[in-house]
Amino acid sequence: MQGIAVDLTGRLLPHVDFSDEDLLRLQQAFRRDDFKAGLAHSLVGESVMGFAAFKSPLAALGPNSGLPINRFMRGSNEDLAFYLEIQSDMRDAMELEYPDALDMVETANDKVTARIATPLGRMRYIMTGLTLPAISASAGAVARADGLNRCIDTAIAIERYRRREGRLPESLAELVPDFLEAVPIDPFDGKPVRYVVKKEAYLVYTCGRDRVDDGGKEVDRTDDVIRIDLKSDEPKSAETISAETISDGVSSGASPE
């Protein structure tokens, strides 16, 4: 749903005659989302469910979980202690700012990988190995969502600046403090979000989960890019945006995350 909101906002920005007040309200709406904080809360519930799974995997995870569970399978006390240690590491990571939070998640994930690297390790830490990998993937997903929110906030700020000044800013620093309190930080590398002006569009992007800046390339891209078209069409009122445009934005904005 967040992906749909970000994508559709980016599509409409060049074509809808939003008031400056409307654009400010959009910025404030995106700023209220904090996916990292949401993951921190969900990890508490995950720990409780995981603890129950060690006691009775079949009862906790259910017969249709797709995991190779049988009534004789149990996690040992050693396995449980390691599981709780990693869960604690993950919760601590979510208390840190980006990108330190992602660095700590990677460290915890490497710790798990090292413990289950051998057949004996996979047996000793069977429940930990089954339950934790998805959590580290979730950390990357929330960083991506928070990053896209920061990018669309920046794009809205650029539009507010363009409508007041009649031109695009040469750098994001020109948006501070009138349209942004500070230039948003890329969750993946701790640098400011990127801003690139092209002939018919400008891009605001983060370097994405590979944590490498690929220049915002739009084919086979690994960066997470918000593209705002710079067409010569006159802005339209919200009432004239067709249902086809809305539907198009929803279908392309949907994300499995």
Our CA dihedral for 100, 38, 87, 190, rounded to 10 degrees, sits at: -10
- What does pTM read for this prediction? 0.81
Query: Does residue 19 contact residue 233 with C-beta atoms inside 8 Å?
Result: no
Please indicate whether residue 1 or residue 203 has the higher confidence score (pLDDT). 203
Q: Where are the alpha helices (DSSP H) in 56-132?
A: 57-61, 77-94, 100-115, 119-124, 126-131
- pLDDT tens column, 109-127: 999 999 999 999 988 898 8
Please indicate whether residue 60 or residue 155 has the higher confidence score (pLDDT). 155
185 φ, ψ (degrees, to nearest 5): -100, 140
What's the 3-state SS for 81-99?
Answer: HHHHHHHHHHHHHHCCCCC
CA–CA distance from 31 to each of 28, 135, 173 (Å)? 5, 24, 19
Q: In whole angstroms, give the CA distance from residue 134 to residue 139.
A: 9
- pLDDT tens column, 129-149: 877 777 788 999 999 999 999
Helices (H) and strands (E) in the chain, counts: 10, 3
pLDDT at position 70, please?
A: 52
Query: Does residue 82 contact residue 128 with C-beta atoms inside 8 Å?
Result: yes
Please indicate whether residue 54 or residue 111 has the higher confidence score (pLDDT). 111
pLDDT at position 72, please?
A: 47
164 pLDDT exceeds 90? yes
Confidence tier at 73 by pLDDT (50, 70, 90): low
91 pLDDT exceeds 70? yes
pLDDT at position 161, please?
A: 97
Domain ranges of the chain: 2-33+144-253, 36-140
- pLDDT tens column, 172-214: 999 999 999 999 999 999 999 999 999 899 999 999 989 999 9
252 pLDDT exceeds 50? no
64 pLDDT exceeds 80? no
232 pLDDT exceeds 90? no
Helix (H) / strand (E) containing 38? helix 35-55
Please indicate whether residue 62 or residue 142 has the higher confidence score (pLDDT). 142
Q: In whole angstroms, give the CA distance from residue 144 to residue 209.
A: 7
pLDDT at position 33, please?
A: 92
